[in-house]
Amino acid sequence: MARRPTPEDIERRRLLVPAVSYPTELPIAACRDQLLATIADHQVVIVAGETGSGKSTQLPKLCLELGRGVEGLIGHTQPRRVAARTIAERVAHELGTPLGTTVGYSVRFTDRVGADTLVKVMTDGILLAEIQRDRLLRRYDTIIVDEAHERSLNIDFLLGYLTHLLPQRRDLKLIVTSATLDTARFSRHFGGAPVIEVSGRSYPVDVRYRPYGEDPDDDRDQVGAIADAVDELYREGDGDILVFLSGEREIHDVADYLRRSISDGAGPRHTEVLPLYARMSAAEQHRVFDQHTGRRVILSTNVAETSITVPGVRYVIDAGTARISRYSRRLKVQRLPIEPVSQASANQRAGRCGRVAPGICIRLYGEDDFAQRVPFTEPEILRTNLASVILQMTALGLGDIASFPFVEPPDARSVADGIALLDELAAFEQVGEDTPPGASRHLSRLGKRLARLPIDPRLGRMVLEADRLGCAREVMIVAAVLSIQDPRERPAEKLEAATAAHQRFAGEDGSDFLTFVRLWDHLRARQRELTGNQFRRLCRDEFLNYLRVREWEDLFSQLRHITSGLDIRLNTTPAHPDHVHQALLSGLLSQIGMREGETKEFRGARNAKFMIGRGSAQAKRPAKWVMAAELVETNRLWARVAARIQPEWAEELAPHLVRRSYGEPLWEEQSGTSTVIERVMLYGLPIVAGRRVLLARLDRALAHQMFVRHALVLGEWEREFPFVQHNHEVLTDVASIAERIRRLDLIPNDDDVERFYLTHIPDDVTSTRHFERWWRDAGRKNPALLNLMRDELLKGQADALEEFPAEWADHEPPLPLDYDFDPAHQDGGMTVRLPLLVLNQVKPEAFGWMVPGLREDLVTAYFKTLPKTLRRELIPAAEHIGQAVEALRDGPRPGGPLSFAAALARELTESSGQTVRASDFDPH
């Protein structure tokens, strides 16, 4: 039933509603009338009830009784698949209908919902996925969100979405159930929805506080404290003990100690010690459900808090800690610190021993410690990366995360981190720097495809890249196995045999990813040869979890199905390993690392330091550069599932992320082109340490200029063109003229020449090779195109040359004059260098007159050599100098003295009335 049913459907479905009765022993039966009335009157109802109240099984029946489930399904969500199935089974059984008819369930890979189904129990993930296809959830007339207190990411996203949906679906009813008394928050969130409390059907639990290590003379550690607590409970009477610990390592420490003390005879007798954690093999886990005679001590992680109900537990020992998943804002990785559990979690643990009889819970911490703990565990949405949620929300057109009605909205920085990860995966259309942070973004084509894949966005990104590289088969195998729990089992007692069995698939390539592909190929080949039972046995013998192998195959099939709808085809021939790794890298760009020297430590993105976990092929002799499928910080940052990469791959895959920096551009005479050293950084890692690249590819204008400057202006090119020779001559010529006429500004400098070439040579000429190609034509059309023009360079100052004769005409034969202008001695005038041979032929009196252009300088210079006493009489100096220059402009006055000094002396005497003699000057 994908659409709202027709009137005929509704009539038919109305006849399907079974008679409903309630087991009277369940506490919820007592509140039946109140619940019926409240649900009938309100769109949203909050139901608070501890485990054992029967709310999960009875609420769907109450809804049926109210006539719900006819016009649309009653949807009932659970956080876990097992719970969805067992609750469906129970409700179906209580209604006397076969599973899959009136009551069905749907979890990933299993759908037992029929056309006549009225109650559909499902995982919350299933309902979230359905939103993609049915925005208004029109298939449902009622939705029950169970176990909302667990506050998983799915639950918070779902509650937010339903909040947004309720005003558009006035006919939709929502029931939110929660085990704890934190119902006020939900009620407030849903506009003051009524809260109905249903009592639990559990026995009293005697909570005892037994802290350790608080007194100075109490030197017990956790193991000792647990041993003491076990002793105390043994004195209380029979019954199994459930111990909550933070992790596998602690479990094995305690197990070793208890087993040793049992065999010593010092500890409790007839006792079986059973570890319990999720990663354990299926067979090992199942031992907690086996019948047994003696006593049991079950040492468990948080799995026993919600996921696995250990039967027959009378006592609980709570060490008070757990590993809590958190998000490192600095390194953008998952952290798993051991933290004190919340009060709600501690109470949930205690409740595990009050299910069949009164129980005792020993807390290995003080009552004051308990009182100081946070009441509730922080919801997952505040502790995790939000990329997947943001991707889904954007695909649903709910882009503005800040205004989405979350029960507890995530921090703006967490949203920014999620967006950053999606940007890393290129899921969004590029936005400009000035786009405000809150602005809604648009998914790129890749992002839209990514949103359709039911896996982590990083893994989805790999699959999409794989299509381009022709390795979709291999990458989908890897993406599938990375999405589920590792199918390889490593039972504690047979560690060596298991490791050896798994080691067969480790290849020469040192790639944990290709190891998975080899394992897959092996399994598929065996599966074809063997019967179902034989294959199941093979899995067991080879230390593989059969159910997870099946899930791996199911997920692969699901991906294959969805990707074929995206026009992605499986490759039929084995892909090149490099291509597989390149595709994988596209999803792991911020999870690469560079080995620090010869150590086993890696420097990762954002300066993180990590090591490769023991199970990896890269652990012993790691490559220089690796990528890791997972980075998790525990006692330190660890990489899990890794392979060697070439950092250049990352450069190619991350054009949107790399930072490039450049050294000084360099003209290379050998190749006749300009290059520059390029350095490429990705998240702070030098994926290209330094390489020469053509400057023209980065900055054509600069490369053009570099070519002109070095090849043509500075002559760093062997090739001689006619214009080069010509220009050399013009420049020498103009330079000497400029010196003669004392116009230093007219001496063409390199910049002037460069400008000339730049205006005449097209921009795309950036190398000698380019130039030759261009000049072959351009030079033929206009051979003088690149010839410098003397007159142009002199800017019309050629006339001034008359005042600066090239030779001294007064002499016979005329003497060439060498204008060697020394700017450092401008005040002192100029030096005329005469060939030594003619020195004694020069008439000294003529010497001062040779260069009219220098007359004023010379007058001033001579004037300055007058004795101070005399100069004082010649004030204002400028006036007397000016008159003398004017008078002597054309050389000696007719009839006047021939010597320059004498002539100047006479002029000054005349203009000032003060006698000045030629001998008063001291020109040396």
Contact residues for DNA (CB under 7 A)?
79-82, 107-108, 123-126, 128-129, 152, 154, 246-249, 277-279, 301-303, 307-308, 322-325, 334, 336, 388, 454-456, 483, 611, 613-616, 619, 630, 632, 634-636, 638-640
- Minimum Å gap between C-beta 555 and DNA is 9
- Minimum Å gap between C-beta 410 and DNA is 17
- Minimum Å gap between C-beta 6 and DNA is 27
Do strands 601-604 and 609-612 pair parallel, antiparallel, or not at all (unpaired)? antiparallel
Measured between alpha carbons, how far is 515 from 521 in angstroms, rounded to an integer?
10
User: Cβ(643)–Cβ(664) under 8 Å?
Assistant: no
- Minimum Å gap between C-beta 107 and DNA is 4
Measured between alpha carbons, how far is 794 from 839 in angstroms, rounded to an integer?
33
Any idea what the Cα angle at residue 341 is, between residues 218 and 181, rounded to 5°? 130
**Nearer Cβ to DNA, position 233 or 629?**
629
Measuring CA to CA, which residue among 576, 578, 582 is closest to residue 654?
582
**Nearer Cβ to DNA, position 109 or 662?**
109
876 cis-preceded (ω within 30 degrees of 0):
yes
- Minimum Å gap between C-beta 692 and DNA is 38
Q: Which residues pair with 732 in a beta bridge?
A: none
- Minimum Å gap between C-beta 429 and DNA is 22
- Minimum Å gap between C-beta 324 and DNA is 6
- Minimum Å gap between C-beta 640 and DNA is 3
Buried b (16+ CB within 10 A) or exposed e, 708-747: bbbbbbeeebeeebebeeebeebbeebbbbbbbbbbeebb
**Nearer Cβ to DNA, position 127 or 903?**
127
The DSSP result for 708-768, as a single string, is IIIIIIS---S---HHHHHHHHHHHHHHHHHHHTT-GGGS--HHHHHHHHHHHS-TT--BH
**Nearer Cβ to DNA, position 37 or 278?**
278
Radius of gyration of the chain (CA): 46
The one-letter code for the residue type at 104 is G
Measured between alpha carbons, how far is 141 from 119 in angstroms, rounded to an integer?
11
Q: How many CB atoms lie within 10 A of CB 454?
A: 15
**Nearer Cβ to DNA, position 226 or 761?**
226
Largest CA distance in the chain: 148
**Nearer Cβ to DNA, position 333 or 472?**
333
**Nearer Cβ to DNA, position 339 or 752?**
339
Q: What is the DSSP letter of 632?
A: E
**Nearer Cβ to DNA, position 336 or 396?**
336
**Nearer Cβ to DNA, position 449 or 742?**
449
Measured between alpha carbons, how far is 2 from 210 in angstroms, rounded to an integer?
56
- Minimum Å gap between C-beta 126 and DNA is 5
The DSSP result for 151-213, as a single string, is --HHHHHHHHHHHHHGGG-TT-EEEEEESSSTHHHHHHHTTS--EEEE------EEEEE---S
**Nearer Cβ to DNA, position 630 or 845?**
630
Residue 710 tokens, joined = 């070095």
User: Cβ(183)–Cβ(34) under 8 Å?
Assistant: no
**Nearer Cβ to DNA, position 323 or 363?**
323
- Minimum Å gap between C-beta 154 and DNA is 6
- Minimum Å gap between C-beta 313 and DNA is 17
Measured between alpha carbons, how far is 252 from 274 in angstroms, rounded to an integer?
10
